[in-house]
Structures are given as structure tokens and as C-alpha cells.
Copies of this chain bind each other. A is one copy, B any other.
Amino acid sequence: MTKEDKPLRADARRNRARVLEAAEAVLARDGVAASMRAVAQEAGVGLGTIYRHFPTRETLYEAILVARMERLVEHVPALREAEDAGAAFFGFFTDIVDNATRMRAVADVLADAGIDVKAGMSEVGSAVRSAIELLLVRAQQQGAVREDLRMPELLALLGAVCMAAERHQWEPELRDRTLGVVFDGCRPHH
């Protein structure tokens, strides 16, 4: 706590951000084979600097995930007020998939390492989860989404589509057609 909250010096914060950004890029390029040295080079900092901010490979990747999620959640307040709850729900789903392009490699690495992703980032993680749930419930109340759709399968679908979108580099059209099927499956009345 004490350590965590100490505000970083300006240059330190700048370095932290550069490393994070570089790590995303390198991960997207090299996949699981990404090396810390490559990240350092991309970020234009020394190896030691990375380890100052992220004591471990896993710590770094987790931070990326958290950053991504924070970016996602930024959209939520606006969506929660939206008139058309169905559009908000499906729109957020699509947003997440779009963002996933680089997200999966990260989750992958964490999962491979046997790390419980939720452990290190429960806060922001559950923020995303809450956001999804909120939008889901509202959409169901407006009758835009079937009543019997529950969070587990929703998250499963979301995860599946994100993974695939990233690995196979879906074109926008393919993404739309595929999500179309999934969304139809989410709608009521069968």
C-alpha cells in the first residue's frame, strides 16, 4: 500500500508508459516468443528500467491487461445512460472484440504461466465484468436480449471471439458476419 501509492517521478512515469506501450507492440508482433530485451529496445530504455517498474515478466503482461481493461471501462459510463440498451450492449461487445486484437497474446501468456489472471487485477477486472453485467441486464429489461442468457456463457462467448479475432486477424467484414451470428443467438424469441 505505502509503496504502491507513492506517486512516481515524472520521468519514471513516462518510462513506465513507454515500456507498457512497447510491450504491447512487441507482444503483438512476436507473440509468446516476445523477449524482455526486445521490449526494452522497442521502448528505448535499458533492461533494468523494465525490471524497476515490473519486477517480473508476468507482472508486465498483467499490467498490459489492466491497462487495456481500463481503457475499455472508460466507455462504460456513456453506454450505461444510452437509450437503446440493446445497441449499447452489442456495441460494447463489439468494442471489446476490436480491442482484443492485441489483448489475447497477453492473456495467453498469463494463462500459460499458470497465473490466475483475476488475482493480480481483480479490481479493474471485475469493473469490466460489472460493466458487462450492467449492460446485459439493461438490455434484457428492454427485451433486446433473451432472458435466459447468463454471464458465464456470455463471458465464454466473448473470450472465444476475442481470442479468434486476434489470432486469425479477422477482417472487419468477417468480424461483422461472425458477431452477427452470435448476436442473433443472444436475441430473444426462438
A177 to B33, CA, bound (A): 34
A178 to B159, CA, bound (A): 11
**A40 interface residue, CB < 8 Å from B?**
no
- Contacts A31-B112, A152-B177, A177-B152: A182 and B157 contacting too (C-beta < 8 A)? yes
Interface core residue of A113, A159, A170 (most chain B CB under 10 Å): A159
Q: Which residues of B contact A180 (CB under 8 A)?
A: 153, 185
A168 to B112, CA, bound (A): 11
Q: Which residues of B contact A185 (CB under 8 A)?
A: 180-186
**A78 interface residue, CB < 8 Å from B?**
no
Inter-chain contact B31/A111, CB cutoff 8 Å = yes
CB < 8 Å neighbour of A186 from B150, B156, B181? B181
CB nearest neighbor in B for A109: B32
**A68 interface residue, CB < 8 Å from B?**
no
Q: Which residues of B contact A161 (CB under 8 A)?
A: 160
CB nearest neighbor in B for A113: B33
- Contacts A178-B156, A184-B185: A164 and B167 contacting too (C-beta < 8 A)? no
CB nearest neighbor in B for A160: B164
Inter-chain contact A164/B174, CB cutoff 8 Å = no
Q: Which residues of B contact A187 (CB under 8 A)?
A: 190
New A-B pairs, 6, CB < 8 Å, besides A32-B108, A181-B186: A33-B113, A108-B167, A160-B161, A160-B165, A163-B164, A183-B185
The 9 A-B residue pairs with the shortest CB-CB distance in the complex, in nearest-first order:
A185-B185, A160-B164, A181-B185, A160-B160, A184-B185, A153-B177, A31-B112, A153-B178, A156-B178
Q: Which residues of A approach B to under 8 Å, CB–CB?
A: 31-33, 108, 111-113, 149-150, 152-153, 156-157, 159-161, 163-165, 167-168, 170, 174, 177-178, 180-187, 190
